[in-house]
Structure 1
Amino acid sequence: MIKQRLNDGWEHFKGSLGGPWEVWRQDKLQNHYNVPWHEVTLPHTYNALDVLDPDTPYYQGQGWYRTKLDVNNPYPGGRTLLHFEGAGQRTDVYVYTQKAGSHLGGYDEFTVDITEAVEKAKKIDRYHGLVPVAIGSDNSRELETIPSDASDFNLYGGVYRYVNLVYVPAVSLERVHVEAQAEGAERCSVKVRAQLYNPQAYLDHVTLTITLQGPDGSVLGTYETKQMAWNGMKEIAVHDIAAPKLWSPADPALYKCTVRLSSPYGETEQQERFGVRFFEFVTNGPFKLNGERLLLRGTHRHEDHAGVGPAMTEEMMRTEMQLMKDMGVNFIRLGHYQQSRIILDLCDELGILVWEEIPWCRGGLGGEQYKQQCRDMLAAMIEQHYNHPSVILWGLGNENDWECDFDYFEIDQIRAFMKELHDMSHRLDPSRLTSIRRCEFCKDIIDVYSPSIWAGWYRGVYTEYETYSREAFENVHSFFHMEWGADNLATRHVEKTFTGFEFIAKGQGADERDGDYLLTGGEPRVSKDGDWSETYFCEMIDWYLKCQEKMDWLTGTAQWAFKDFATPVRPDSPIPYLNMKGIIERDFTKKDAYYVYQSYWTDKPMARIYGHTMPVRWGAPGELKIIKVYSNCPSAELFLNGVSVGVKQRDSQNFPAAGLRWEAALQPGENQVRVVAVKDGVTVEDEIRFVYQTESWGEPAQLKLTVERQTDGLMYVEAKAYDANGVFCPDARNFIRFGLAGDGKLLEHLGTVGGSRVIELANGRVGIYVDPAGGASVVSAVSEGLGTVFIEVNGSSY
């Protein structure tokens, strides 16, 4: 097999065309039929920016891609394939104007055989032997497909994962499955199965050579078999491993299986990695991996990134997953769809256990086409990710109790179809379990269930977390808590958080109910009435994590979600259309919460003073203020303005900050805080500087703008709020709208602080980056009641 990524040489047109002929007709007619195509690099989505446009709903419709390929298959009579690692949401593939294949579904892999179409297209004289290929993408609204448009994430359009040109012989390997059945830690039986790609149905004999290698590269066994070409999946080798090296988050040992196929048509080879491990969700008990209890410490991932949406490069994916691992994660739920093979490979390598699911998310249950897509996507997910030792759970749905897409909602029908998917999953893969989140009337059908528990955000207060978790644990055989957390605007901090303790009645439940995500109406809740600050988010996390350390019955939890992400259902967020529950921003910028997790979940010595992005603190002269440090070191010493404030001992149950907190009087003006901590002979330090404002202020009455040139040539324009007397308002939360006239360009629609045209003030200030483009511009900032202010940005003279 010969495989190459097709990243470059593509052009894109956003909009509908009458058909594939319109992609190419300008090549022949050279007249007014030209349409505005532009060069792009794959992966690519045509919704990279518009999903976060505060004024216009994101585009859902057709988009087209075209290129001309130099196709030279070296195998006599071989097959030429286009392998898509994912494209959304409906895809049509054309070679010139001939449709070569179609695919429904935005997240699973698919392959289109273009062999015969290529030979026909090569005869078109004007292309001089090159092969014109067009891809039609479509993410139009369609109720009879999954996922639902009511889902809390965007249904992106485009070729947003890698596309590969693949050459194979006439008979080749299509898929290899490696099943490692561990019998405790003493022995493992490895079964190797293979499926052929043989579209011409040749009946020749093929020779297969199977080689198994250990994690150290040593050859464990080699097998050879000769047999006639077959249909379907067939067992081709069995090998026993004595005392296997077990895969785990602490030591993700990977074996290799190489299968080489030889036939009269040529040779092809496929290499698969696999791991040896066994796991158990103990009935009414904890989770065990390889016979030992493991508390699953998790988060969630959406395919979503600033400026590119889901079209992340392999380098971006690797950066994101390494950030998770460095935070101490040993588990991830991939929400709410099959994700890139690259992500699964990284989970295998880094030692991160996985719950992966199909996008049957909200909306109800449609007709037969709807059901068939669910079946197809479940089968594809299992078949394509079968060999990954990181995967332990196949998710069958999410929030299936959330009706909205149809004028009927039949619980019995949903239950029956959930049972069908459960049985199908076990038939395709008996070695893994099934799971769903938030559908109480289906919790008895699947193997592992997560109820909705949002104590301290959508319902209740965070001190009720353990109570509601225990209640849910006792109501199912295998409890696993997916999704908890709080929205938080990066760089927003408060001196006193809104916790809801005084206003929200306890004992009213902690489940999220339809509409709780809205910022108006309903019962009091922190999500509606709170401050959306990093301060509160850190407090909540701190409480949850200190509780989890003592919950010896707990399987684990996963916070929602690791990174802020775009969503169509949250126009009223402080950054419109952004789900802001991330531990990091959409561009990988860490929030303070990242270090709270590290202080509980990691062993490498670390210490972090809370408030690195809080340049101004405020209060009365002489008022005692709490300074918090998040660290995994047994003790730490704090210095304020060069003077020691004392040494504190870490105790995970001493809330907040595990006892690493100091009360001190800050001096008016600039303050410097430094912490020194030691663990295992390693000294770690952290330092911050901030201004302590003692001058009181009134309501925000005016804005002021400043501009600062960055080292990369960009300009940072910052808006700050002041009262009528010109005193800075450090707690102002007004919405600001930036604008620009001139040569430059706002770096907007990124869903980040610093990359959003409309955004709430964070501690009385917020800014946006500007590309001056070597010319002059005027940047404006307007806020209701505060007027409009302007500042000139001159890229040529700054």
Structure 2
Amino acid sequence: MIQTKLLAVNPKQSRQKLNFNSNWAFHSGDVNHGEAIGFNDRFWEAITIPHVMRLEKKHNGGGAIYQGVGWYRRYFKLPESLQDKRLTIHFEGVQMNCEVYLNGTKLTSHYGGYMGFSVDISQQVKFGQDNVLALKVTNVDDPLTPPGKPMQKLDFNYYGGIYRNVSLLATEKIYVSDALEANKVAGGGLLINYTQVDKQQATLHVQSHIVNGSDKIATVKLLSILKDKNHQEVARVTVQNKINAHGEYTFQQEMKISNPKLWHPEHPYLYHLESLVYQSGILTDRVVTNTGIRSIAFKSATGKADGFYLNGEKLYLRGANRHQAYQYVGDAASDGMQRRDVKLLKAGGFNSVRAAHYPASPAFLDACDELGLLVIQCQPGWQFYNRDPVFVNRSFQDIREIVRRDRNRPSVFLWETSLNESPTPASWMKDAVAIAHQEMPGNARKPILHCRRYEQS
């Protein structure tokens, strides 16, 4: 076993996000007991994340890439100062299915390569000594996991691997939840909604899900502060409530913003919403969320289609489809490469992009928010449908998760709740649209695009 150094942490910080992209070992192919603590991995390849299971030439589908199993292992050592923290490992994307182990014990399985997931390691991790995190990853054809189509017949590839960022998150026991981990309809994390938007005033409504993971009832105060791009305070609101031990509570808050600077592709102004959680006067969590103030609508005039309106003004959409594949590295593009794609689209005169045919990475969407590019966010799918209930349920969960992950982004203006160009039955389509409306209720709703044949490939 590799002897590792203690991770550098600041125990005084209420929330710490540690980069877990480095110091991984990788083996191409399956092995017996690759999760075991004492497994000999000395001859495995040393790699960093993001990573695909084999360097590939750039090509569009057809399956001429590695398909199979790959194993990943990473050693780490945590200081005893983190013993009272809640500790989770967050994976932004593992392609396509995986099993996650810590110190030889299986923690979870995850299906689907395009959405992130978190694993709570608080009870299994050892402090002051070596831990080994292991993943068994497979990108073999799986008709039960969307998109589901065999790669030989697909026009893009499942390159396989831990191809998006990995981090370790340490928080106190009273914290703002992660929207994906919470797994609540129209809940979890933060849900930001602007109920009124014009050049004179905007009204912000924020819903915040706070978890009390401690053994005692707690009086929790939530202070929300909106700041402009220069970090000057624009508005603030405070509310408090008791939360039972191992309980949760969803706070509702409202702010008024005078003379707001509106988000637009030509001037993508971002505010910063700072969420501060206190218990007995002690800060237990701090989360900063970028937000853009804007209104969106599709209108018709005298019974005819009129077009798209942003902040009350008509905007002609100039867009393109974008895949996430690159030469050699496949899907495993760095955050800088994701940002470069947005810059290229902007330089080409586009103001919108469709994330074909699956959810784009958080880094790509961060750049769209910051640089000004409207996004159609898609669920994974392409010319394939499986009536098996497992596939159906996973396709519906994909819709829920893309909305929960990206609902606060000013760049995302349409949800494509369809398995692209797929023979889905009317009952599936009806349920898919209903699910999206459940996740974006009332004034928080963004338009939902559902069409069986959106584009010609």
Which TM-score bucket, shorter chain as reference? 0.7 to 0.9
The answer to whether structure 1 residue 262 and structure 2 residue 278 are counterparts is yes
What is the number of residues matched between the two proteins? 419
Paired amino acid for 1:236: Q
Distance 2:100 2:198 in 1: 47
| Superposition deviation, residue 289 in structure 1 | 1.3
Q: 1:131 to 1:251 in 2, by over 3 A?
A: same
Q: 1:183 to 1:25 in 2, by over 3 A?
A: closer
Counterpart position of 2:5: none
| Superposition deviation, residue 141 in structure 1 | 1.0
Distance 1:328 1:86 in 2: 30
Paired amino acid for 2:94: A
Counterpart position of 1:113: 120
Distance 1:355 1:219 in 2: 31
Distance 2:364 2:63 in 1: 32
Counterpart position of 2:387: 366
Question: Contact 1:73 / 1:79 at 8 angstroms: preserved in 2?
Answer: no
Counterpart position of 1:292: 313
Counterpart position of 1:279: 296
Q: Secondary structure at the match of 1:4?
A: strand
Distance 1:66 1:189 in 2: 48
Q: 1:224 to 1:342 in 2, by over 3 A?
A: same
The answer to whether structure 1 residue 314 and structure 2 residue 303 are counterparts is no
Counterpart position of 2:208: 194
| Superposition deviation, residue 200 in structure 1 | 5.7
| Superposition deviation, residue 367 in structure 1 | 1.5
The answer to whether structure 1 residue 176 and structure 2 residue 219 are counterparts is no
Task: Render the CA deviation track for 1:58-97: whole Å, top value 9, x for unaligned.
Answer: 2222111101112236455211110111111112211121
Distance 1:66 1:205 in 2: 41
Q: Secondary structure at the match of 1:296?
A: coil
| Superposition deviation, residue 260 in structure 1 | 1.0
Distance 2:146 2:31 in 1: 24
| Superposition deviation, residue 366 in structure 1 | 2.6
Report percent identity of matched pairs: 26
Q: 1:22 to 1:50 in 2, by over 3 A?
A: farther
RCO comparison, higher one (Cα < 8 Å, 6+): 2
Distance 1:226 1:216 in 2: 28
Distance 1:54 1:241 in 2: 48
Distance 1:332 1:346 in 2: 12
Q: 1:378 to 1:233 in 2, by over 3 A?
A: farther
Task: Render the CA deviation track for 1:413-447: whole Å, top value 9, x for unaligned.
Answer: x21111111111112114201113444xxxxxxxx
Distance 1:357 1:84 in 2: 20
Distance 1:234 1:399 in 2: 35
Q: Secondary structure at the match of 2:143?
A: coil
Counterpart position of 2:446: 432
Distance 1:86 1:54 in 2: 20
**Selected match of 1:43 from 36, 50, 56:** 50
**Selected match of 1:226 from 215, 224, 240:** 240
| Superposition deviation, residue 242 in structure 1 | 3.0
Provide the alpha-carbon RMSD of the alignment.
2.5
Distance 1:356 1:47 in 2: 28
Matches within 5 A, 1:768-779: none
Unaligned 5+ residue runs, structure 2? 1-14, 178-188
Counterpart position of 1:144: 144
Task: Render the CA deviation track for 1:706-729: whole Å, top value 9, x for unaligned.
Answer: xxxxxxxxxxxxxxxxxxxxxxxx
**Selected match of 1:353 from 368, 374, 380:** 374
Distance 1:55 1:317 in 2: 24
Counterpart position of 1:134: 134
Q: 1:276 to 1:53 in 2, by over 3 A?
A: closer
| Superposition deviation, residue 201 in structure 1 | 6.8
Question: Contact 1:88 / 1:158 at 8 angstroms: preserved in 2?
Answer: yes
Distance 1:332 1:214 in 2: 26
Q: Secondary structure at the match of 2:354?
A: strand
Paired amino acid for 1:48: L
**Selected match of 2:429 from 410, 418, 441:** 418
Q: Secondary structure at the match of 1:419?
A: helix
| Superposition deviation, residue 270 in structure 1 | 0.3
Paired amino acid for 1:129: Q
Task: Render the CA deviation track for 1:499-539: whole Å, top value 9, x for unaligned.
Answer: xxxxxxxxxxxxx5xxxx7xxxxxxxxxxxxxxxxxxxxxx
Q: 1:73 to 1:169 in 2, by over 3 A?
A: farther
Distance 1:278 1:45 in 2: 39
Paired amino acid for 1:93: V
Counterpart position of 1:250: 266
| Superposition deviation, residue 333 in structure 1 | 0.5
Matches within 5 A, 1:358-507: 358-401=379-422, 414-430=425-441, 431-439=445-453, 450=454, 452=455
| Superposition deviation, residue 161 in structure 1 | 0.3
Distance 2:386 2:35 in 1: 37
Counterpart position of 2:9: none
Counterpart position of 1:2: 16
| Superposition deviation, residue 372 in structure 1 | 1.3
Matches within 5 A, 1:62-81: 62-72=69-79, 74-75=81-82, 77-81=84-88
Distance 1:53 1:299 in 2: 17
**Selected match of 1:239 from 229, 235, 255:** 255
| Superposition deviation, residue 108 in structure 1 | 0.9
| Superposition deviation, residue 177 in structure 1 | 2.2
Q: 1:335 to 1:54 in 2, by over 3 A?
A: closer
Counterpart position of 2:7: none
Q: Secondary structure at the match of 1:397?
A: coil
Q: Secondary structure at the match of 2:94?
A: coil
| Superposition deviation, residue 45 in structure 1 | 0.8
Q: Secondary structure at the match of 2:420?
A: strand
Distance 1:245 1:54 in 2: 43
| Superposition deviation, residue 236 in structure 1 | 3.3
| Superposition deviation, residue 392 in structure 1 | 0.6
Q: Secondary structure at the match of 2:426?
A: helix
Question: Contact 2:36 / 2:104 at 8 angstroms: preserved in 1?
Answer: no
Distance 2:63 2:310 in 1: 48
Distance 2:352 2:59 in 1: 29
TM-score (norm 1): 0.50
| Superposition deviation, residue 232 in structure 1 | 6.2
Question: Contact 2:276 / 2:283 at 8 angstroms: preserved in 1?
Answer: no
Question: Contact 1:357 / 1:396 at 8 angstroms: preserved in 2?
Answer: yes
Distance 1:272 1:355 in 2: 21
| Superposition deviation, residue 324 in structure 1 | 1.3
Question: Contact 1:73 / 1:167 at 8 angstroms: preserved in 2?
Answer: no
Q: Secondary structure at the match of 2:418?
A: strand
The answer to whether structure 1 residue 166 and structure 2 residue 169 are counterparts is yes
Counterpart position of 1:744: none
Distance 1:54 1:345 in 2: 27
Matches within 5 A, 1:680-695: none
**Selected match of 1:90 from 72, 88, 97:** 97
Counterpart position of 1:209: 223
Matches within 5 A, 1:576-591: none
| Superposition deviation, residue 365 in structure 1 | 3.2
| Superposition deviation, residue 190 in structure 1 | 0.5
| Superposition deviation, residue 295 in structure 1 | 1.0
| Superposition deviation, residue 203 in structure 1 | 2.9
Q: 1:78 to 1:18 in 2, by over 3 A?
A: same
Counterpart position of 1:743: none
Paired amino acid for 1:295: Y
Question: Contact 2:62 / 2:155 at 8 angstroms: preserved in 1?
Answer: no
Counterpart position of 2:25: 11
Task: Render the CA deviation track for 1:385-407: whole Å, top value 9, x for unaligned.
Answer: 111011110111243445xxxxx
Question: Contact 1:93 / 1:102 at 8 angstroms: preserved in 2?
Answer: yes
Q: 1:398 to 1:25 in 2, by over 3 A?
A: closer
Question: Contact 2:197 / 2:311 at 8 angstroms: preserved in 1?
Answer: no
Q: Secondary structure at the match of 1:18?
A: coil
The higher radius of gyration belongs to 1
Distance 1:93 1:376 in 2: 20
Distance 1:53 1:223 in 2: 50
Paired amino acid for 2:17: K
TM-score (norm 2): 0.85
Q: 1:337 to 1:235 in 2, by over 3 A?
A: same
